[in-house]
C-alpha cells in the first residue's frame, strides 16, 4: 500500500458522517460548564457535515481518526470534565504537546495557540459550551496528529527523497489512544507507543535535548581562521579552541580541553586527544591537526546541529518498526555498513558509496543470495558514459580490461576493432551492445557480490581498489556499495551452511568460475542516510550532507510537503 493511502486511512476526511447529520449550532452561545455525549456527538457530526472541518477557527487534521475515537467511547468527553475545566489527563496531554520539540517537532502544529486561548476563557469563566467542546475536540485532534507524526513522520519521504522505498510502521491511532487511556498508560503511553522504538531514536532524542540546553546557555562560539594548529604548538587561538571543545556534548572532550587551563596557549597532549575525538565524531582524519576541514566542523553552530538532529529524527520515523534481529544497515553519509545479529552490531565494514551525481539511494530490500567470483555486467549508464569514450579512444581497452563486447541482437561476442565507433552515441551503444567483465582480480566487483534484487540495480560488493577504504570520505562509486573485507561478510552469511567454510569460499574465488549461493533465509538490508546519530556508547556523531538531502527534509518540516 502506498504512503498516501496509508496516511489517508489515519487522517483523511470521509464524506459519510456518523449517524444523522446534525444542524450547525446557530443559536446564541451559552456560558456553561460541561457537556454530555449527545452534545459532543452533534458537534462532531456538524463539523463533518461542514465544508471546512474546523473547530474554533482551527482546521482539524485527524478527520478520520477523531470521529472514530469518539464513536468508540460513545462520544463521552475525555478532556473537559463535568465542571467545565480540563481533566488531569488533559493537563498531561497539553504538557505532552508542548514538549513535541523534544522529538524535533513544532508544538504550534498541534493547536497550541488555540488551546491556550480556550484555556484562558475556561479559567476566566467566560467559555461557552461550544468553546469547551471545541477545546475537547482540538486537544483530541492535536494528540492524534502528533501521534501520526511520531508514527509516520511529519513529512512524506517520497516527496523529498523520491527514490525512498521502505516498509512503514502502521497503527490505528484512534485505537492506540483509546487503549493507552483505558490501560492507565495515558497520553504519554500513547506517544511512546507511536514513536520509533529503536534505541538509536531515543538516544538521538536525548542528544537533541542536551544540544538545546547548550544553545540556551550561549552555545559554543567559533574559532578564528589562520595557519593549521598542530600538537605541541603555541598559538593565541588555542584558548578559543579550548573554550570551544569545553562546550562539547562529549564529557571526555570537555575534560581534556580544560585540563591544561582555559587560557593556556600551548597545544598540549590532552587537548590533542580532545581534537582527535572531535575529528572521529565528525568523520574526519583523526590526526589532531586543526586544518581547514576541522576548523569548518568546529565552527558549525550548536543551532545548526540542532536542526541536523531534527532532520535525522524525522528519517527514523520513516523506518519500519522492526528492522530485524539480523540485518544489514548501510549509512551512506557515514560510509559504513553494519552487520547486525541478535540485535547488536556484529561488525562494521568501511564502505564506498555513490558519488554525488550517482548517489546511493535510500531504500530497503531482502538479500537472497551472493555470487562468488562474479562476472560484472556493466550497467548501461556506466557503459555509455564511462566505458564508451575509452573504447572509442582504444578498442583494445575491452580486452585489456578482461571484458567481452556482446551484440544485443545475437548475444554473441563482437570484436571491438570491427566496429566503426566514430559516430556511436551512448544510446546507440546500449541498443547494440553490452559489456561483461570476466571474474578475476581486476573485476570491478572484486571477489563477491551480495544480491537483494531492486529497481535501482544497487547491491553490495567487493572491490579491487581496496586502498580507497583508507580515505575518510568515500563517495567514489556509481551507486552500489563497496564493502571492506567482503569475504568475511560472505563467511558470516554462509556460517549456517556447514559446507561453506572460509577455505571453500576462498577456493571458489581462486578458481575464477562464477558460483551463486542462496542464503538459507532472506536477510533485510537497509540503505540509509543519517548525518547525525548516536553510537551505542552514547557518542554523538555528525557527518557531512554529501548528497545535500538534509535541506529538502528541513524545508518540508518547516512547511512544505507536510503530511495531512
Task: Look at the alpha carbons of 541, 544, 546, 549 in this order and tell me if their dihedral is positive or negative.
Answer: positive
- Residue pLDDT, tens place only, 191-207: 999 999 999 999 999 99
- Residue pLDDT, tens place only, 250-289: 999 999 999 989 999 999 999 999 999 999 999 999 999 9
Split at pLDDT 50, 70, 90, the class of 18 is very low
Q: What is the mean pLDDT of the chain?
A: 91
On whether the CB atoms of residues 128 and 32 are closer than 8 A, the answer is yes
pLDDT higher than 50, residue 5: no
Environment class of 36 (CB within 10 Å of its CB; exposed 0-12, middle 13-18, buried 19+):
exposed
**Predicted local distance difference test score (pLDDT) of residue 461:** 98
**Predicted local distance difference test score (pLDDT) of residue 46:** 82
DSSP 8-state code for residue 424: -
CA distance 562 to 553: 10
On whether the CB atoms of residues 201 and 314 are closer than 8 A, the answer is no
**Predicted local distance difference test score (pLDDT) of residue 63:** 84
CA distance 314 to 157: 9
CA distance 387 to 408: 17
Split at pLDDT 50, 70, 90, the class of 314 is very high
Max Cα separation, the chain?
Answer: 94
Give me the half-sphere count of Cα atoms (radius 13 Å) on the Cβ side of residue 140.
Answer: 36
pLDDT higher than 70, residue 9: no
**Predicted local distance difference test score (pLDDT) of residue 50:** 73
**Predicted local distance difference test score (pLDDT) of residue 13:** 34
**Predicted local distance difference test score (pLDDT) of residue 422:** 93
On whether the CB atoms of residues 530 and 315 are closer than 8 A, the answer is yes
CA distance 164 to 172: 23
User: Which position has the grid cell 470521529?
Assistant: 67
User: Which position has the grid cell 533465509?
Assistant: 521
| Topology (CATH) of 323-375+442-530 | L,D-transpeptidase catalytic domain-like (2.40.440)
Burial 198-229, CB ≥16 within 10 A → b, else e: eebbebbbebbeebbebeeeeebeebeeeeeb
pLDDT higher than 70, residue 313: yes
**Predicted local distance difference test score (pLDDT) of residue 45:** 86
* Cβ within 8 Å of residue 153, ≥6 positions away: 314, 317, 318, 563
Q: Return the H-helix or E-strand segment holding 538.
A: none
DSSP states of 429-482 = HHHHEEEEEPSSTT-TTTTEEEE---TT---EE--S-GGGGGSS--EEESSSEE
Burial 502-535, CB ≥16 within 10 A → b, else e: eeebeebbeeeeeeebebeeebbbbbbbbbbbbe
pLDDT higher than 80, residue 550: yes
CA distance 288 to 25: 71
Split at pLDDT 50, 70, 90, the class of 164 is confident
Among the listed residues 478, 508, 474, the one whose alpha carbon sits nearest the alpha carbon of residue 491: 508
The dihedral region occupied by 561, where left means phi > 0, alpha psi between -120 and 50, and beta the remainder, is left
pTM (2 d.p.): 0.90
- Residue pLDDT, tens place only, 211-241: 999 999 999 989 999 999 999 999 999 999 9
Q: Retrieve residue 302's grid coordinates.
A: 550548536
Among the listed residues 423, 424, 422, the one whose alpha carbon sits nearest the alpha carbon of residue 433: 424
Of 158-167, 293-302, 354-363, which range is least confident? 158-167
Split at pLDDT 50, 70, 90, the class of 43 is confident
On whether the CB atoms of residues 337 and 329 are closer than 8 A, the answer is yes
CA distance 174 to 72: 9
Split at pLDDT 50, 70, 90, the class of 158 is confident
- Residue pLDDT, tens place only, 329-374: 999 999 999 999 988 999 999 999 999 989 999 999 999 999 999 9
Q: Retrieve residue 441's grid coordinates.
A: 582480480
CA distance 414 to 406: 5
Mean pLDDT of 113-135: 94
**Predicted local distance difference test score (pLDDT) of residue 49:** 78
**Predicted local distance difference test score (pLDDT) of residue 47:** 78
**Predicted local distance difference test score (pLDDT) of residue 159:** 85
Distance from the Cα of residue 350 to its chain's centroid: 20
- Residue 161 has phi, psi (to 5 degrees) of -130, 85
Directed axis angle between helix 129-152 and helix 37-49, to 10°? 70
Length of the chain: 564
What does DSSP say about strands 344-354 and 475-477: parallel, antiparallel, or unpaired?
parallel
**Predicted local distance difference test score (pLDDT) of residue 33:** 64
pLDDT higher than 60, residue 29: no
**Predicted local distance difference test score (pLDDT) of residue 160:** 85
Task: Look at the alpha carbons of 283, 288, 293, 295 in this order and tell me if their dihedral is positive or negative.
Answer: positive
**Predicted local distance difference test score (pLDDT) of residue 108:** 95
Q: 10 Å Cβ neighbour count for 415?
A: 10
Domain ranges of the chain: 3-199, 323-375+442-530, 376-437
pLDDT higher than 80, residue 32: no
Mean pLDDT of 149-153: 95
- Residue pLDDT, tens place only, 433-484: 999 999 999 999 999 999 999 989 999 999 999 999 999 999 999 999 999 9
The 3-class secondary structure across 183-206, one letter per residue, is CCCHHHHHHHHHCCCCHHHHHHHH
Burial 40-67, CB ≥16 within 10 A → b, else e: bbbbbbebbeeeebebbebebbbbbbbb
Q: 10 Å Cβ neighbour count for 326?
A: 15
* Cβ within 8 Å of residue 497, ≥6 positions away: 517, 520
pLDDT higher than 50, residue 94: yes
**Predicted local distance difference test score (pLDDT) of residue 371:** 98
Q: Please state, for a pLDDT cut of 70, what percent of the chain lies above it.
A: 93
**Predicted local distance difference test score (pLDDT) of residue 559:** 79
CA distance 229 to 266: 10
User: Where is mean pLDDT largest: 42-46, 94-98, 170-174?
Assistant: 94-98
* Cβ within 8 Å of residue 455, ≥6 positions away: none
Mean pLDDT of 483-497: 97
Q: Return the H-helix or E-strand segment holding 78.
A: none
Amino acid at each position: 500500500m502506498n504512503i498516501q493511502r496509508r496516511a489517508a486511512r489515519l487522517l483523511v476526511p470521509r464524506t459519510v458522517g456518523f449517524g444523522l447529520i446534525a444542524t450547525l449550532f446557530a443559536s446564541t452561545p451559552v456560558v456553561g460548564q460541561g457537556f454530555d455525549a449527545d452534545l459532543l456527538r452533534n458537534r462532531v457530526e456538524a463539523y463533518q457535515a461542514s465544508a471546512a472541518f474546523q473547530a474554533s477557527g482551527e482546521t482539524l487534521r485527524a478527520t478520520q481518526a477523531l470521529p472514530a475515537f469518539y464513536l468508540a467511547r460513545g462520544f463521552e468527553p475525555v478532556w473537559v470534565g463535568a465542571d467545565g475545566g480540563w481533566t488531569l489527563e488533559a493537563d498531561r496531554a497539553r504538557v505532552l504537546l508542548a514538549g513535541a520539540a523534544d522529538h524535533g517537532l513544532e508544538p504550534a502544529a498541534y493547536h497550541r495557540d488555540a488551546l491556550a486561548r480556550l484555556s484562558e476563557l475556561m479559567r476566566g469563566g467566560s467559555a461557552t459550551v461550544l468553546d469547551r467542546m471545541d477545546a475537547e475536540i482540538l486537544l483530541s485532534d492535536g494528540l492524534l496528529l502528533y501521534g501520526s507524526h511520531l508514527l509516520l513522520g511529519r513529512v512524506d519521504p517520497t516527496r523529498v527523497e523520491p527514490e525512498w522505498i521502505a516498509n512503514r510502521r502502521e497503527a490505528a491511532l484512534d485505537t492506540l489512544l483509546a487503549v493507552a487511556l483505558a490501560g492507565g498508560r495515558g497520553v504519554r503511553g500513547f506517544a511512546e507507543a507511536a514513536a520509533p522504538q529503536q534505541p538509536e531514536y531515543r538516544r538521538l532524542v536525548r542528544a537533541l535535548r542536551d544540544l538545546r540546553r547548550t544553545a540556551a546557555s550561549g552555545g559554543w562560539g567559533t574559532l578564528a581562521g589562520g595557519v593549521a594548529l598542530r600538537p605541541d604548538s603555541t598559538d593565541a587561538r588555542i584558548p578559543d579552541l579550548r573554550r570551544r571543545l569545553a562546550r562539547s556534548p562529549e564529557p571526555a572532550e570537555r575534560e581534556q580541553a580544560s585540563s591544561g587551563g582555559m587560557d593556556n596557549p600551548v597545544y598540549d597532549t590532552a587537548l590533542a586527544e580532545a581534537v582527535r575525538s572531535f575529528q572521529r565524531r565528525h568523520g574526519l582524519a583523526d590526526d589532531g591537526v586543526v586544518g581547514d576541514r576541522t576548523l569548518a566542523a568546529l565552527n558549525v553552530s550548536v543551532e545548526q546541529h540542532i536542526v541536523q538532529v531534527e532532520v535525522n529524527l524525522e528519517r527514523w520515523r520513516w523506518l519500519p518498526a522492526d528492522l530485524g534481529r539480523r540485518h544489514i544497515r548501510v549509512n551512506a553519509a557515514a560510509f559504513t555498513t553494519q552487520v547486525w545479529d541478535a540485535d547488536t552490531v556484529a561488525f562494521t565494514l568501511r564502505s564506498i558509496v555513490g558519488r554525488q551525481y550517482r548517489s546511493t539511494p535510500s531504500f530497503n530490500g531482502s538479500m537472497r543470495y551472493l555470487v562468488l567470483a562474479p562476472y560484472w555486467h556493466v550497467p548501461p549508464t556506466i557503459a555509455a558514459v564511462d566505458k564508451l569514450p575509452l573504447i572509442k579512444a582504444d578498442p583494445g581497452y575491452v580486452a585489456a580490461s578482461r571484458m567481452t563486447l556482446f551484440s544485443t541482437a545475437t548475444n554473441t561476442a563482437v570484436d571491438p576493432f570491427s566496429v566503426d565507433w566514430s559516430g556511436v552515441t551512448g544510446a546507440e551503444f546500449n541498443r547494440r551492445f553490452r559489456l561483461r567483465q570476466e571474474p578475476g582480480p581486476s573485476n570491478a566487483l572484486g571477489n563477491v557480490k551480495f544480491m537483494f534484487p531492486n529497481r535501482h540495480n544497487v547491491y553490495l560488493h567487493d572491490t579491487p581498489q581496496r586502498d580507497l577504504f583508507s580515505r575518510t570520505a568515500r563517495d567514489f562509486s556509481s551507486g552500489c556499495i563497496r564493502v571492506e573485507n567482503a569475504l568475511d561478510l560472505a563467511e558470516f552469511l554462509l556460517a549456517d551452511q556447514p559446507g561453506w567454510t572460509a577455505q571453500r569460499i576462498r577456493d571458489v574465488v581462486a578458481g575464477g568460475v562464477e558460483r551463486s549461493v542462496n542464503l538459507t533465509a532472506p536477510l533485510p538490508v537497509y540503505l540509509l542516510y543519517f548525518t547525525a546519530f548516536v553510537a551505542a556508547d552514547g557518542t554523538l556523531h555528525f557527518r557531512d550532507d554529501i548528497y545535500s538531502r538534509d535541506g529538502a527534509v528541513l524545508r518540508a518540516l518547516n512547511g512544505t510537503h507536510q503530511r495531512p
